Structure 1
Amino acid sequence: MSKILYDGARRSRAYDGLDVYLSQISGPLLTREEEFALAVKKMRGNRNARRELINRNLKLVVNVAKKYTYRGVPLLDLISEGNQGLMEGIDRYNPYNKKKAKLSTYARYYVRKNILNALKKERRRYLAKYHPKDGPVTFVSIDEPTGDDGESMETLITDIHARMPYDDICERSDSAFVHNLLKKLNPQQRKVLELRFLRLNGKKKTLEEIGKIYHVTRERIRQIQNEALAKLRAN
């Protein structure tokens, strides 16, 4: 099996980027004639031909994987899943079947299928971990310290200039008030504040922990948090 296929994604991750991996798979695409000839050899058991078909179509996987970034699975992991789909498509391809498209078009289906399956698995894992069916959600006082810096929701809201006075927030610091506030936010902002300030299964999340969930930095989560709080104060 191709060393590029198995080791490329791991090496590029170690170098914190795609550059190394992309440089390894940079090469001319196969012509229709080259593709057919290699596919015929592959059907006859030629392992070198199979390896060549894989390596010359790795860029196809990258192009498909890029369409599914920012959905909870790192790009390099999507590429790894797509590579498995590419191999499946190549193994299933019959160049003598006149009804079938060219190999790259045929294999694209299996690449996409594997990537979508990976996204579905990640979503199920996320829901099982952060949205348990039986786990209680406990609302906490708005003035209770939270997270990694000891700030309370009350403090964070009052730190952002807005029309709602401090005393009004303190007087209504109950679960119903917090719940109604969160309804004003978009799903991402609401989820960040829920993870930061509400007890999900008895535990609130730090900025860093939420960042790992969304695969972004803690500062990006802080930015989303502050945007959400500013929106609450503006309404």
Structure 2
Amino acid sequence: MGTSLQVVENLSPGQNLDAYVQTVTAIPVLSVEEERSLAERLHYEGDVEAARQLVMSHLRFVVHVAKTYSGYGLPLGDLIQEGNVGLMKAVKRFDPTMGVRLVSFAVHWVKAEMHEFILRNWRIVKVATTKAQRKLFFNLRSKKKALGWMTNDEVNAIAEDLGVEAKTVRQMEGRMASVDTAFDAPEGADDEQAAWAPAHYLEDKSADPSLLLEDANWEEDAQRRLMGAMAELDDRSKDILARRWLTDDKATLHELAAEYGVSAERIRQLEKNAMKKIRVTMEA
């Protein structure tokens, strides 16, 4: 399937969707005998070229299915790409001994991939997570007759038809009617439009004088505690910490070891003990 995947990616819908549709539509439809021969070569021999031909000849079918989901507001090209993934999965699993055409077998896989894509991207907040909710979501989209809210009779009729409670239908209708709002203003928006973006309603705590004063006091107190803790150290420990942590040109353990005539491990122990003393003093 590696070769077929590469070919489909090369023909995947880009900015020129019309050109893609024209290209896949021009690919000849396989006859029953041709499809069976290719399917048998793939199924029994693992023939990658046969898989490629099966995929390519059914790309037009994916486009047709994708167009039936155009009402969800998602790019047609993205739906086609997801459907192509489902088609390749179907080709890989197709058994020519089943006695059905590939298109009849593949429709399940193609729609399944498109359904997953729609549910992942139609709303930021997921409208359907369980299998039952997903079934209700797509059935409700197809059964709803108007763009407005359904009447009680319509809700009851759909609930009875789908075998669910009326309140479940209402809940799903409410989820589907929700609208995502962008956090930031749209690109190119003028000052008046940008002022209504949710981002402008957040509190800017960095400009709160009381918080600024509190932060300044906290930093001043922390600095005072650190200096006080450093003052309680012996001169060697104080020098090691200062040169290891409080200068831009930090000294290495080996440099300090050579200077004090001890091992690098001893310098590391002195540094560790000094840090521990400072921590205890500052937390007191």
TM-score relative to the length of structure 1: 0.51
The secondary structure found in structure 2 opposite 1:30 is: coil
Greater radius of gyration (CA): 2
CA distance in 1: counterparts of 2:120 and 2:69, whole angstroms: 14
The within-5 A match list for 1:19-38 is: 19-25=18-24, 26-38=26-38
Query: Shift of the alpha carbon at 1:195?
Result: 4.3
Counterpart in 2 of 1:131? none
Q: Which runs of 4+ in 1 moved over 2 A?
A: none
TM-score relative to the length of structure 2: 0.43
Query: Shift of the alpha carbon at 1:7?
Result: 2.0
CA distance in 2: counterparts of 1:55 and 1:195, whole angstroms: 39
Matched, 1:89 2:85: no
Matched, 1:118 2:117: yes
The one-letter code matched in structure 2 to 1:57 is H
Identity of aligned residues (%): 31
Q: Deviations over 1:55-91 (max 9, x none)?
A: 0000010000111114142111111100010011111
Counterpart in 1 of 2:41? 41
Query: Shift of the alpha carbon at 1:23?
Result: 2.8
The secondary structure found in structure 2 opposite 1:126 is: coil
The secondary structure found in structure 2 opposite 1:79 is: helix
Stretches of structure 1 lacking an aligned partner (at least 5 in a row): 129-186, 197-202, 210-217, 223-235
Query: Shift of the alpha carbon at 1:28?
Result: 1.8
Counterpart in 2 of 1:229? none
Q: Deviations over 1:137-188 (max 9, x none)?
A: xxxxxxxxxxxxxxxxxxxxxxxxxxxxxxxxxxxxxxxxxxxxxxxxxx9x
CA distance in 1: counterparts of 2:76 and 2:109, whole angstroms: 17
Q: Confirm or deny: 8 A CA contact 2:27 2:56 kept in the other structure.
A: no
The one-letter code matched in structure 2 to 1:36 is R
Q: Confirm or deny: 8 A CA contact 1:72 1:119 kept in the other structure.
A: no
Q: Could you say if the C-alpha distance between residues 115 and 195 of structure 1 is closer, same or farther in structure 2, counting changes exceeding 3 Å? A: closer
CA distance in 2: counterparts of 1:113 and 1:73, whole angstroms: 16
Q: Confirm or deny: 8 A CA contact 1:81 1:118 kept in the other structure.
A: yes
Q: Confirm or deny: 8 A CA contact 2:28 2:57 kept in the other structure.
A: yes
Counterpart in 1 of 2:146? none
Q: Confirm or deny: 8 A CA contact 1:39 1:95 kept in the other structure.
A: yes
CA distance in 2: counterparts of 1:97 and 1:35, whole angstroms: 13
Query: Shift of the alpha carbon at 1:18?
Result: 1.3
Matched, 1:7 2:5: no
Query: Shift of the alpha carbon at 1:4?
Result: 3.5
The one-letter code matched in structure 1 to 2:57 is R
RMSD: 3.0
Q: Deviations over 1:41-65 (max 9, x none)?
A: 0112111000000000000100001
Q: Deviations over 1:192-221 (max 9, x none)?
A: 7x949xxxxxx5x54x37xxxxxxxx9xxx
Q: Confirm or deny: 8 A CA contact 1:85 1:111 kept in the other structure.
A: yes
Q: Confirm or deny: 8 A CA contact 1:72 1:122 kept in the other structure.
A: no
The one-letter code matched in structure 2 to 1:49 is A
Counterpart in 1 of 2:210? none
Q: Which has the higher helix share?
A: 2
Higher relative contact order (CA 8 A, sep 6+): 1
Stretches of structure 2 lacking an aligned partner (at least 5 in a row): 127-173, 194-284
Q: Confirm or deny: 8 A CA contact 1:86 1:107 kept in the other structure.
A: yes
The one-letter code matched in structure 1 to 2:124 is Y
The within-5 A match list for 1:159-178 is: none
The secondary structure found in structure 1 opposite 2:68 is: helix
The within-5 A match list for 1:124-143 is: 126-127=124-125
The one-letter code matched in structure 1 to 2:8 is L
